[in-house]
Amino acid sequence: MLRKAFMRVFSAHPVETIAACTGLFMIALGVALGTQSGWIWFWGQISAICGASLATLAVVWTLRQRATEARMAANLNVLARQLETSISQIHKSVKGGRDESIPAAVYLAQIEQCIDNLIGVTHEIGEITGRQLPFDVIEMLTARDTLQIEARITDGRTPERKLVTETENCPACKKQVEFQVGSLPGDSAKPTCPHCGQRFHAHRSTSGNIFLRMPGASQFTRAVSVNCPVCASKIPANIDQGKQHSETRYCFSCGAKVSIDPLGQQCTLLSKQDRLPGHLNGAGTLVCGKCNDPVITLTSNSAGTYGICRKDDGLVFAAAGTPPHPARAPAPPAASPHPAGSPSTSAPSTSSPSPSAPAPSPQAAKPQGDAMARSDAAE
């Protein structure tokens, strides 16, 4: 191990190592000659003094050189980060200009800023090395002036941005949705589907086409599974741990509304009510059976379709295989048995309409297999 350490020091500081070894040898020689007398003793003392001085100078040179190297390494690290940032920005600007995703004046100004950074880095390197400004930096100054001229020319030819109405299929319910988005490449919008209530992102590509995507999860999103405080069923959820507030979820088994802490994954009961009955209308949209309003569809599985009714603040469930309900038509007015203008002296008619059959309870709408927890479905 001592040999490896010596070789490492010798490879980094060969001159200082040789000087230190020579000084140690002279010290040892002086100590050996100090046992003699006369001129031999005198030259032994001189050798020891010179050896100690040489070894001390070697150590001082080594420490000073290491301090200089550390200071220079710190400066070079800063310059390297600036170079990396400028090169990355130039790459992005050139790519954006080639794809026409950003205006020409913008990416030319970005490249101009990167050239200023490169000029500053080159000056700093010249201060470290003691050399003057090289010729290629003068060429960069000329390129910078050229970019300024081109930026001023292209600045007045920026195309006008207009809102254009587009029609695409919702990525959640696959129904057609009309929305407005900018006409330039790179424009985006965040419309809401009127059928299912899901918000999504709409982007215009460099070719002018529209592509849609659902809102993506952040880098702090984690998949967790908690137990329902009412029925002890598993409630899977994707929780954003970067948020400070709790997130609300519903238990697909009993309909309980719970709150999940993003850090401790603790499940707290907010409200308890049975699942509301629901059905699909003629358009295929999930409708709450209590208020007869469309709900926000969450997911569908083998058991049925789940959604959230904002009006009743509950989980709506429509069992699988339930036929769609057609839209209710208004009943025609009943014809009067008496001619117009004649008073009615007869007793009220006893043929009142029969009461409608009671609606099936939410428990009856559940399938047999739904007694078990269906919380393994997607949110």
- Supply the DSSP string of 275-321, one letter for each residue: PEEEEEBTTS-EEETTT--B-EEEEE-SSEEEEEETTTTEEEEEETT
pLDDT of residue 231: 92
Tell me if 101 sits within 8 A of 186, measured CB to CB: yes
267-271/276-280 β-pairing: unpaired
Please tell me whether residue 58 adopts helix, strand or coil conformation. helix
E strand or H helix at 221, and its extent?
strand 221-227
What is the torsional sign of CA 9, 12, 16, 22? Answer: positive
Q: Which amino acid is at 363?
A: Q
Written as six digits, the tokens of 103 are 């205006």
| Per-10-residue mean pLDDT, the chain, length 379 | 71 77 83 81 84 84 81 81 84 79 77 80 76 58 63 57 85 84 83 81 79 65 82 83 76 89 82 87 82 83 84 86 62 46 38 39 38 37
Strand partners, 164: 181
Interior CA angle at 246 toward 245 and 247, to 5°? 125
